[in-house]
């Protein structure tokens, strides 16, 4: 009788799934970096405006 070699199927994930997952991870990283950069720019702009207001109001009190 002939021998039949049976090989089990490997449980591997398809390559396209890894590519899609990598693209999603990169998109999330870019989103948070851009959001953080935008928040830092907003904070810097607000701080400069606030300090100028504080200096202006302090000078006003001195002149009054």
Q: What are phi and psi of 11, to 5 degrees?
A: -90, 80
Nearest to 47 by CA among 57, 55, 37: 55
Q: How far apart are the first and last CA of the chain?
A: 111
The answer to whether the predicted template modeling score (pTM) of the entire model surpasses 0.75 is no
Q: List, in sequence order, the alpha helices (H) in the chain.
A: 15-63
| Tens-place pLDDT, residues 3-54 | 888 887 777 888 999 999 999 999 999 999 998 887 777 666 555 555 555 5
């Amino acid at each position: 009788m002939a021998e039949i070699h049976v090989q089990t199927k490997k449980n591997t994930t398809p390559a396209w799934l890894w590519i899609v997952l990598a693209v999603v991870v990169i998109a999330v990283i870019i989103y948070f970096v851009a959001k953080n950069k935008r928040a830092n720019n907003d904070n810097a702009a607000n701080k400069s405006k606030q300090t100028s207001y504080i200096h202006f109001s302090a000078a006003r009190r001195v002149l009054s």
